Structure 1
Amino acid sequence: MRASRLVSILLLLQNRDRMTARELADALEVSVRTIYRDVESLGAAGVPLYGEPGHDGGYRLLGGFRTRLTGLTADEADSLFLTGLPTAAADLGRGAAVTAVQLKLMASLPAELRDRAGRIAERFHLDAPAWYREGDRAPRLGEVAEAVWNDRAVRMRYLRWAEPREITRVVEPYGLVLKAGHWYLVAGGAEGLRTYRVSRIVDLHVLDERFERPEGFDLADHWQNYLRFFDARRHRGEATLRLSPGAFHQLPHLWESAMADAARRTATRPDADGWVRVTIPIESVEQALPELLRLGADAEILAPAGLRAHMTRTLDALARVYRRPV
């Protein structure tokens, strides 16, 4: 697991003083790219780690920094890098372990760094859910997390969007991702690598069967690739619009980034009235209409004809409603 690997990097540098990225990668049987990412995570967590360039360079712990990780329990060590995510740690059933590891880490720091860590904790807070939305309630999250920690296969009943709505699958849980307040399970199985929303797991049973994680599987890399594929798959169409200057500048606050970025990228030069023509990706006519209604009279649909006709019918219906006396 990644948390155990990060702990191992700390212990290796503590015991060997200096190591190159290649030496760390060979010792931990991962790629050099993974080591670079792990070192960045350690630095972000406040560990005084730095790199020296050159033939005799490598990574070192600043000023003879010594950890006291031998005083950590196994659960605390695994929870080490959830210390900046208290809500997520609590969701995963690791709240108490995270509190304990924070205390031990603070006690192990030199006075100057301990004060610095305290100031950071007082001044920065991560709130994962989006505005005006609460995170998912995921009653099975604790069980899923235990299966992930222990490399145990699970049998689950899952409620999906497509028919048949409820399915039963045996999967190998590789990792959990917290995205905008929602927990997702990345798991392998007979259907291949799939992503499941944890809140939609109806029932779950952890099996005695253990599994081997795929060699070289990197959860962060997989998730980024998944997001790119997800956007490409769901945006199956395009729409061409005319936008007023006010609407164009408000797009980053009104639309998701894929749509707003496409609008900025495809915008033509303003016409005599200052309006621009843009092309945006859409999932469907039905999905696009509510997004375009948010712009009111500051947007005109030029294509496709079906979307323009759908907007016309909707506006006619609205006009009939508002012509009625109250």
Structure 2
Amino acid sequence: MIEVVGLGKRYGRTTAVRDLSFTVRPGRVTGFLGPNGAGKSTTMRMILGLDRPSSGHALIDGTPYRELRHPLRKVGALLDARWVHPNRSARDHLRWLARTNRLPPGRVDEVLDQVGLTAVARKRAGGFSLGMAQRLGIASALLGDPEVLLFDEPVNGLDPEGIAWIRGLMRGLARQGRTVFVSSHLLSEMSQTADELIVIGQGKLISQSTVSEFVAAATEHTVRVRSPQVERLQKALVHKGATVEQDGATLVVGGLSSAEIGELAAAHGVVLHELNPQRGSLEEAYMRLTAGAVEFGTS
């Protein structure tokens, strides 16, 4: 579990993170969203002890990262896929990490196979494409078989097959009871991958909720209705207090559920050809809730 309590970070007169508190729980994929400059990368760096907070603290299973006895066995992270000596092979890079963290050498070939790099394990990492570098970074994060994983934009440079693979990997890790915390700008991917969302803007918490709760709170649900008796139905809906937009034989109805509309139609003897709930998207909800936080503020 990751606990962030009253976390703050200032660079001179600029506040990157301000009084930020949230909890990332095990057994689920938690997405970390926010506009550019919102403080996501800074927050992740403070969780990992790479930046010192100006205020507050971040704990991993109750302990600051700097005090972990075997950090790679507790926490795996991908923050920068290019953080690797360009003249080292993928295998040598992982062997170096394993040796310096007292991990069994056999673990290297296990993670190379897990991320699909066995065939290029002896090639220099400096010649890797961005997608291959991402896979090597993920292998590094998995090397210690950690309970907590942090990924910053893990699908950068991956093709559609690779994106589907990392999605399945993260969800699989969460099913094993691990804590998975992932930052991404790809909202469509987060809608398919994350169970919970933490959204920040201008360094402050905007929302922490499940994906469905986040979308429901920030978007309007409507129902698409088609009927050969659309005029009669529309009058009944308006009388009931619903908002109605008409396009020929189709109505878009707000303020009533599909069940309520179906019952109302039945009560008025109206035949329905379509009764289709229209859910808001994660993108719509995100754009609405972060609209005031796009420009990064200073203080």
Q: Determine if the TM-score, normalized by the shorter chain, exceeds 0.5.
A: no
**Relative contact order (C-alpha < 8 Å, sep 6+): which is higher?**
2
- TM normalised by structure 2 equals 0.27
Question: Whose radius of gyration is greater, 1 or 2?
Answer: 1
Greater percentage in strand: 2
Greater percentage in helix: 1
